Amino acid sequence: MVSGTRRKPISSKLRHSFVLQTYYFAILIGITSLHFDFKTKKFCNSKYLYLYAAIVNLTFIFVAPTMQWHIIDDVRFYVDNLQMKLINSINLNLRCVAAIMTLVLRWKRECHVRKIVERLIVLEEEYFDRVTYPPQLIQRFDRLFFLKYASVWLQSLSIMYIVYRYVASTSGWWYLTFFYVIIILNILHGVVMHYYMCLLYIGSRFYIINYRLEEIYMTIARIKSWKSQRSQQQMQKALAAELDCITYIHCNLMNIVSELNDSYMLQILTVLMTHIFNNTAMGYYGLMMCIDFLKFNLSYYDLIIGGFSYCCLVLDLYLVDINCNTVQTSYNTTGSIVKQFTEFHNMEESLRKSCELLSLHLVQRKLFINICGMFNLNKHTSFVMFGFTIRQVLILVQNDVAISIRYLRDSRSVGQILQTEFSKAFNTINVGKEE
Closest CA to 254 of 119, 117, 121, 366: 366
Cα separation, 11 vs 241, in Å, equals: 27
Q: 341 near 356, Cβ under 8 Å?
A: no
351 near 240, Cβ under 8 Å? yes
pLDDT digits (tens, 9 = 90+) for 16-74: 444 444 444 444 444 444 455 545 555 555 566 566 666 666 766 676 666 666 666 65
Does any domain span residue 429? no
H or E segment and range at residue 375: strand 375-376
Q: Does 230 fall in a domain? A: yes
Give domain status of residue 3, yes or no: no
435 is a domain residue: no
Written as one letter, the residue type at 222 is R
Query: Does 368 fall in a domain?
Result: yes
Contacts of 249 (CB under 8 A, 6+ apart): 123, 126, 127, 128, 205, 209
pLDDT digits (tens, 9 = 90+) for 95-112: 677 667 666 666 666 667
User: Collapsing DSSP states into helix, strand and coil, what is residue 35?
Assistant: strand
Q: Which of 199, 207, 206 is nearest to 377 (CA)?
A: 199
Decide if 248 is inside a domain.
yes
Q: Are 231 and 223 in contact (CB under 8 A)?
A: yes
What predicted TM-score, i.e. pTM, was given to this entire model?
A: 0.71
Per residue in 103-162, pLDDT (tens digit) is 666 666 666 776 777 787 788 878 888 888 887 887 788 788 778 777 777 777 777 776
- Is-contact 319 382, C-beta < 8 A? no
Q: pLDDT for 173-185, tens place per residue?
A: 666 666 667 777 7
Residue 15 has pLDDT above 50, yes or no: no
Structural domains of the chain, count: 1
What does the pLDDT read at residue 388? 65
* Structural domain includes residue 176: yes
The pLDDT of residue 305 is 73
Strand partners, 370: 376
Could you tell me if 207 and 138 are in contact, meaning their C-beta atoms sit under 8 angstroms apart? Answer: yes
What whole-number distance in Å separates Cα of residue 303 and Cα of residue 162?
A: 11
Cβ-proximal residues to 224 (8 Å cutoff; 6+ apart), any chain: 232, 344
Q: How far apart are CA 100 and CA 97, in angstroms?
A: 5
∠ CA 201-206-210, rounded to 5°: 150
In a domain, 269, yes or no: yes
Residue 217 identity (one-letter amino acid): Y
The domain of 273 spans: 10-419
Instruction: Tell me the torsion sign for CA atoms 107, 113, 119, 125.
Output: negative
